[in-house]
Homo-oligomer: A and B are copies of this chain.
Amino acid sequence: MIVHMSQSATSEQIEQVTERIRALNRRPHVRRGERTVIGVPGLGDGGRQELEALRAAPGVESVRPPEHPYPLAGRLPGQGRTVVEAGGVRFGGGEVVVIAGPCSVESREQLSETARAVAAAGASMLRGGAYKPRTSPYDFQGLGLEALGLLREAGAETGLPVVTEVLSTEDVEVVAEFADVLQVGARNMQNFALLRRLASAPRPVLLKRGPSATVREWLLAAEYLLSGGNADVILCERGIKTFETETRNTLDLAGLALARELSHLPVIADPSHATGRRSLVPAASRAAVAAGADGLMVEVHPRPERALSDGPQSLDLEGFAALMRGLRAPLPPVARRAELKESYQEEAGELV
């Protein structure tokens, strides 16, 4: 439910309303503006009547279900883009943030070598998996706490802030201690218990799109974070599941553009998981940036053929440097007609 305060509502009245909401064991989300709006996440029948009774409270104009399906993640007409700052890096500010690193942290040497190389090539943030969500219980599950320490070490060495995935509510606290950004993996996009816990974490959240999530479902997952109190959400398109088997997933760049149209939040792309093929990562990266991506998340490994996970989609160090050079190259030119008739050349002058 959404409580709309009247234009003349006082701070005191707002405070009273939020207190009554808290007394119902709900966490109010206050958005101040010309008219203050207070979001109240999901309510069972138990509290609904009490909440609706707030209509009679001083300063309250209305209590009603949200008109917009995701009032906090959604973008109002004319609204600008939100900049999310994480470890000194700004997402959504008009520059392309490149996050790079290995799929899994495997050893101090592997991570340090990768971190130094991607920093040198121009990456702004380091990624690396400590807790790995693996389809099979018999696959490498990550080094856990040890990896978190190595990530912090490599981050300190190179000046790169660190992003890593958190798999479980129990791990949120410890991961938040070590990492600058907490990643929600694609398969956890609708792990609502995890989203609720991260909504009160003291770190920005990188929310990957689920492999079968519509853009709408993705933004509603972000709404769980925002309505729960964490305003620092970065969205990440990483490919969706389709009938096509020659790429690991299908990179949905029109979906990325749509997410940026419907939401004010920054949106980045993960070309590595989206394609699953090293040779396609540079083209996919350039395409994502051209589609408006606020950043990229790229898997890099010093020796991809020996990686414990996701080797086929990881760039080697030189491959990553080449990708970075490619991001600075201009788009190819548009072909011209062999001969323009004079009359059109004039019009062309007006229109183009």
Contacts and interface: CB of A to CB of B under 8 A. Distances in A.
A198 interface: no
A78 interface: no
Contacts of A107: 45
A216 B290 contact: no
A252 interface: yes
Interface in A270-329: 271, 274-275, 277, 279-280, 283-284, 286-292, 295, 308, 317-318, 321, 324-325, 327-328
A58 interface: no
Interface residues of A, number: 130
Nearest to A289: B331
A329 B215 CA distance: 27
A286 B279 contact: no
A339 interface: yes
A135 B192 CA distance: 9
28 contacts: A42-B139, A44-B141, A66-B138, A69-B136, A88-B338, A96-B335, A98-B334, A116-B347, A119-B344, A120-B347, A122-B334, A135-B217, A137-B223, A159-B339, A159-B340, A169-B193, A191-B191, A214-B243, A214-B246, A239-B254, A241-B243, A242-B252, A247-B255, A250-B250, A251-B252, A254-B274, A289-B290, A328-B331
The 4 closest A-B pairs by CB, nearest first: A168-B193, A212-B212, A290-B290, A120-B347
